[in-house]
Amino acid sequence: MNHYLDVLKKYAVFSGRARRQEYWMFFLFNLAAVIVLSILDGVLGTSPILYAIYVVAVFLPNLGVTIRRLHDTGKSGWWILIGAVPLVGFIWIIVLLATAGQQQPNQYGADPKAYAA
């Protein structure tokens, strides 16, 4: 839960680096929230109002943590656009997001893993 709240606190921060754990925990919490809200929308007959409100609310935090995750691997935030390439782009962005970050400082900042220990 801390990773989710940390990302929300940095909702519009696009500089710096994010660890894999921070990104994927945020991703998993979002996935669970979207599933619960979709079910709730269906039960209440408000589909897709709750889902849409949540997705809009977490758009900037999601974009920010994704860009910071790419920075951790040494890539520019613009690499997020590779996901728009049909078929291959989706796989490529997942590989980039799952790749271990650079252990030494890079142009985007110091290794966030060093501070977590």
Q: In which domain, by residue range, is 95 found? A: 2-105
- State residue 23's pLDDT score: 96
Domain count of the fold of the chain? 1
Q: Is residue 87 part of a domain?
A: yes
Query: With left for phi above 0 and alpha for psi between -120 and 50, is residue 72 left, alpha or beta?
Result: alpha
Tens digit of pLDDT for each residue in 13-54? 999 999 999 999 999 999 999 999 999 999 999 889 999 999
Q: Which residue has the higher pLDDT, 26 or 3?
A: 26
Q: Is residue 117 part of a domain?
A: no
Q: Is residue 86 part of a domain?
A: yes
Tens digit of pLDDT for each residue in 60-117? 999 999 999 999 999 999 999 999 999 899 999 999 999 999 999 999 998 888 776 5
- State residue 114's pLDDT score: 78
Q: Is residue 113 part of a domain?
A: no
Q: Is residue 7 part of a domain?
A: yes
